[in-house]
A and B are shown apart, each in its own frame.
Chain A
């Protein structure tokens, strides 16, 4: 088992990059790897619970909650979230909030870090 840390920065709507990031995490977990998942920049859109599924837009909340239930550690950048009006009470169950040093610290014990940039 390896440790993979993913840093995801793209927005939920506008490209399929964030979808890809979660699918990648799902595939890694399915292979038995440990995944740390950092959401920052526009990707902190995932820090708002109760997102409604429309077929015109990406909807990843369900997949994210399933991954959290499987033990993946998903942490959102607290400053990026607060700047966008996503407060602690908005955060989906099981998602953590931390400052950016959390992400850097997770790289220490990771075999691979995949930094998936934003817009």
Chain B
């Protein structure tokens, strides 16, 4: 099977702009991209949260209650549900004082098997070098 690897890099915090939501919805749409492709062709996304973008993965967001919209937390969980790798920058978590138990690590409540991964910025750079196309939100 021929595959194209796409990296979706999220650098903005949630709700301040549309960027993180667009990154999440676009990356999840990889699930159905094959309807536009020929047999055997596929796109493989990785979602990478860096800078203030790591705030999108904070647990227990109340977006529906407060804003009447779905949370970036729920979108990230949907990403895990479709087996999309979710990488969260460790250094940026430290910079923002975030502990691992404050951040989404899984979506077991939705039936997802894949877990989010805490990675170094150096590892993120290697992933960016390995991808075919970069989408920087």
Given the complex, which residues of B lie within 8 Å of A108, measured CB to CB?
2, 4, 33, 37, 41, 43
Could you tell me which A residues sit within 8 Å of B by CB distance?
Answer: 7, 9, 40-42, 79-80, 99-108, 110, 113, 115, 117-119
Report yes or no: B26 in contact with A104, Cβ–Cβ below 8 A: yes
Please determine whether A103 and B26 come into contact, CB atoms closer than 8 angstroms: yes
B136 contacts the other chain (CB 8 A): yes
Bound CA span A104–B134, Å: 11
Stretch of B15-23, B93-101, B109-117 that contacts chain A: B15-23
Number of B residues near A (Cβ < 8 Å) is 27
Residues of the B chain whose Cβ atoms lie less than 8 Å from the Cβ of A118: 17-19, 22
Structural contact, A119 and B36, CB atoms closer than 8 A = no
Does B125 count as interface, using CB distance less than 8 angstroms? no
Task: Give residues 77-113 of B contacting A (CB, 8 Å).
Answer: none
Min distance, Cβ B12 to any Cβ of chain A, angstroms = 9
Q: Are A40 and B26 in contact (CB under 8 A)?
A: yes
The reply to whether A100 and B6 form a contact with Cβ atoms under 8 Å apart is no
Whether the Cβ atoms of B136 and A115 lie closer than 8 Å is yes
Interface residue ranges of B34-70 to A (CB < 8 Å): 34-37, 41, 43, 45
Nearest-neighbour CB distance to chain A for B3, whole angstroms, equals: 9
Q: When the two chains form their complex, are residues B22 and A41 in contact, meaning their CB atoms are under 8 A apart?
A: yes
Q: Given the complex of chains A and B, what is the CA–CA distance between A117 and B26 in angstroms?
A: 13
Chain A residue contacts of B136, Cβ below 8 A:
115, 117
Once the chains bind, are B133 and A101 in contact (CB under 8 Å)? no
Point out the residues of chain B lying under 8 angstroms from A103, CB to CB: 26, 29
**CB of A3, distance to nearest CB on chain B (Å):** 12
